[in-house]
Amino acid sequence: MGRSREFDTEAVVESAVEVFWRLGYEATSIQDLVAATGLGRGSLYAAFGSKDGLYEAALKQYAQRSGAAMAARLDRDEPVRVVLRDLLLHLVDDTVDDPDRRGCLITNSAVERLPRDRAAARVVGFSLDGNAEAIALVLRRARERGDLRPDADVTAIADFFVTTIQGLRVQGKAGADRRRLTSVVDTALAVL
């Protein structure tokens, strides 16, 4: 019978999230992960198989957490323009207020790892699709209330906002200021 793990897997993965988010996949060494998690190399490899395995687990945990936060922020009974503006401005604040300008781990992963990393591609795709569905739900409710044109293409508009979010994250990481990013938000909302 094998020994049971003597560590909190979720806490280890969360520590890895922070390292990968700050440094990126390529710049993160196994030693960085050992230092951040407090586990030895052998324990990391036994638990996750490889750096890739730990990266996939970190992406999944980040995607789940950020997707749940987005869904919660969108779950409001207010006009669609108010709900989406609040979401986008929250993301602008999150980006601009981060002194390290880490951006979004999902966006960073898409830029750094895709298309060659199939596991990361699955997680990124799942995350972006989940975000689009959460926004589409808000848009469908808005259309039912008459807050959006009856012929509005909810899928296309949701995809547009997911793309806008990714662009805001990249621009923010590249140093765009709050005024510039808020201007993008206002322009995007004109689609509604």
106 CB contacts (<8 Å, ≥6 apart)?
59, 62, 63, 66, 123, 124, 127, 128
What is the value of pTM for the model shown? 0.91
CA distance 163 to 91: 13
SS3 50: coil
Peptide bond into 115 cis (omega under 30): yes
* The pLDDT of residue 6: 72
Cα 161–chain centre separation: 14
Domain 56-189: top CATH class: mainly alpha
SS3 147: coil
Per-residue pLDDT tens digits for 86-108: 999 999 999 999 999 999 999 99
* The pLDDT of residue 8: 87
Q: Which residues of the chain are modeled with pLDDT < 50?
A: 1-4
Q: Report CA-CA distances (Å) from 15 to 23, 33, 57, 100, 113.
A: 12, 8, 11, 17, 20
* The pLDDT of residue 131: 97
Q: Report CA-CA distances (Å) from 145 to 33, 114, 134, 142, 149.
A: 49, 39, 17, 5, 10
* The pLDDT of residue 124: 98
